[in-house]
Structure 1
Amino acid sequence: MPLCWKKTAPPSGSQYPAERILVLPLDVTQPHQVADAFAKAKERSGRMDIVVNNAGIADIGKLEGMEDSKARGLLETNFWGAVSVTKEALKCFRETNPRGIGGRLLKISSYLGLVGLPALPFYCAAKFALEGATEALAAELDSDWNIKATWSPEHPAYSNPALPASHARKVGWDNVVAWKDMRRSAELFYKIASDPNPPLHFVVGKDAIEATRKKITALAADIDLYEAWSNGLEQ
């Protein structure tokens, strides 16, 4: 049975009947709500095979221009909220599901977790952090568990209209991000969740693939150019 968690209760007359989908209110920044949602889901279904960790928000603003409260709130949702869901998912996969069955944890990151984009420094920070934590987690898991792992005020120093962040502010968030076909994307996520040997990183979308390849190429070039500077550093 699909389980859906959202901050507000579902409207009456939902598209899907209650016996097919369970919708629960949830604020991922509140760990006790995360634990309660998982408990209710397990009570209803008895087990949980796939968890899609997708809670996230984005505020456009420069690192110097965004209020601390918004920046911290973004990290609380996009990173710490994802961590809370991850912990509950792992506990469920390991302790509730039949031994050896495990589960699939799909974390919806972003290529902005690999490539920094102007005007989204804290969103990038959250996604970079999520990437690092997930890579470490993947190495920590016991293989026996079978667990596969709005606008901010303008900062006066950045008034130059030629700057990338100025462009993002002018055209709006919906025009900065190349949104994907949601139905086809969901089909891809379902497919990767069914893969017996899923990759740690699953990059979706030509824009994300192109940006990631550029990042890899630039990083490799920098390493090659300055590799000799490390000669003799080892003792």
Structure 2
Amino acid sequence: MSQPKVWLITGASSGFGRAVTEHVLSKGDIVVATLRKPSALSDLTAKYDKSRLLVLKLDVSNLREIKNTFATIERTFGRLDVVHNNAGYGLLAEAEATPEEVARDMFEVNFWGLVNVSKEAVRFFREVNKPGVGGRLLNTSSMAGIGGLPAMSFYSASKFAVEGFSEALSKEMKEEWNIKIIILAFGAFKTNAVSAIFSVPLESLPAYQGGVVDYMRGAFSGPPSGGDPVKAAREIYRIANEPNAPARQRVLFGSDVVGLARGAITQLQEDTEKSEPLAERVAFPEEPAAPATEMKTTEVTSEKSAAKPKRLSRFIKKILVKF
């Protein structure tokens, strides 16, 4: 019988974090559940021993608390198999009505919190786990990270940042580390995400009233709707345990996010085709090679300098193909 895996789940108080915590425990694995208010999981701590469920207070915007969390995991279990980077919240308001400090506070959680947990996870997988064991890093994104949503401009920006960071980070991993990074992009689900969005009340500016912002507010003001978080938790568990998983992958949860992604692909394809003539116009001209007998040192230097942009372009293409 294989030994149970050790999971770290941030933002475990409710929503996907709570659902995944419960499902992982039901499968016999070990969970280190982190949240700002540990009392929110008192029903689970009464049910499970600390050898199965370790609940820790963690504010992911606090780097010291993040490092202490990983140190506690190392002392307690000596290993870590899966990190579910789930903590985050949203804002609902047009960009112009969102105070900078409010947007920055959200970025501290949604982006920098995820970044710092990711960095500690990679270090732990590589240096604390036995060589080659590696681990799975599951980074939570959103449909707002695939297509910018009106009235959620800063939330979309934070999720676009998560997408870009996670994709780039996955390309930095060496194959022998066996570290797999998976982006989980969620659409609408019946969770407390709506109440979290309205936890920071922001009023629309008069100029925007009657427009798309009001429509978005109305869409989010009703009871939660969408996918089943319990079913999503099952799929997250399955994905985390897939053998021979690719070095990176992006998984879309919900028909709404799939539809949005298809629209984004179509738009990007159209933009790409329209931009091809411009891309050629701004390129350096290709100069014909001078005969070898006439080529001087200065000409060689000049030719090498002119070729740099083209070589750089080829280098970037190689990176994209390889990774």
| Both proteins in one fold, TM over 0.5 | yes
Aligned pair 1:83/2:112, yes or no?
no
- TM-superposed CA distance for 1:104, in Å, is 0.3
CA distance, structure 1, for counterparts of residue 134 and residue 222 of structure 2: 37
Match of 1:209 in 2: 258
Q: Which residue of 59, 64, 82 corresponds with 2:96?
A: 64
More strand by share: 2
Residue in structure 1 matched with residue 144 of structure 2 by the alignment: 112
CA-CA distance at 1:144 after TM superposition? 1.3
Deviations 1:74-129 (A, max 9, x none): 11100000011101111110111000000000001112111000111111000001
Match of 1:124 in 2: 156
Contact 1:60 1:173 in 2 (8 A): no
CA distance in structure 2 between the aligned counterparts of 1:197 and 1:9, rounded to whole angstroms:
33
The DSSP-based 3-state class of the residue aligned with 1:104 is: strand
Q: TM-score, normalised by structure 2?
A: 0.68
Q: How does 1:14-25 map to 2 (within 5 A)?
A: 14=44, 15-25=47-57
Q: Scaled by the length of structure 1, what TM-score is found? A: 0.93
SS at match of 1:27: coil
Alignment-derived partner of residue 191 in structure 1: 238
Deviations 1:201-220 (A, max 9, x none): 11111111110011101110
Q: Which residue of 1 aligns with 2:82?
A: 50
Task: Confirm or deny that 1:40 pairs with 2:90.
Answer: no
C-alpha separation in 1, matches of 2:151 and 2:42: 38
2:314 corresponds to = none
Q: Distance in 2 between matches of 1:209 and 1:178?
A: 17
Query: Residues 26 and 170 (structure 1 numbering): CA distance in 2 closer, same or farther, change over 3 Å?
Result: same
Deviation readout 1:170-218 (Å, 9 max, x if unpaired) = 343566x754211110111111112222442111111111100111011
Give the 3-state SS of the residue equivalent to 1:97 in structure 2.
coil
Are 1:5 and 2:34 counterparts? yes
Distance in 1, Cα, partners of 2:161 & 2:252: 17
CA pair 164-51 structure 1, distance change in 2 beyond 3 A: same
Partner of 1:228: 277
Equivalent-residue separation in structure 2 for 1:27 and 1:59 (angstroms): 18
Distance 1:41 1:232 in 2: 55
What corresponds to 1:158 in structure 2?
A: 208
In structure 1, distance between residues paired with 2:169 and 2:77? 26
Between stretches 137-146 and 97-106, larger displacement belongs to 137-146
Unaligned runs of 5+ in 2: 1-29, 182-197, 285-323
For the pair 1:99 / 2:149, whether they are aligned, the reply is no
Q: Secondary structure at the match of 2:281?
A: coil
CA pair 174-122 structure 1, distance change in 2 beyond 3 A: farther
| SS across alignment from 2:56 | strand
1:34 alignment partner, SS class: helix
Q: What displacement does 1:26 show?
A: 0.3
Q: Deviation per CA, 1:134-193, whole angstroms, max 9, x where unpaired? A: 11111111111110112312112211x2x2211122343566x75421111011111111
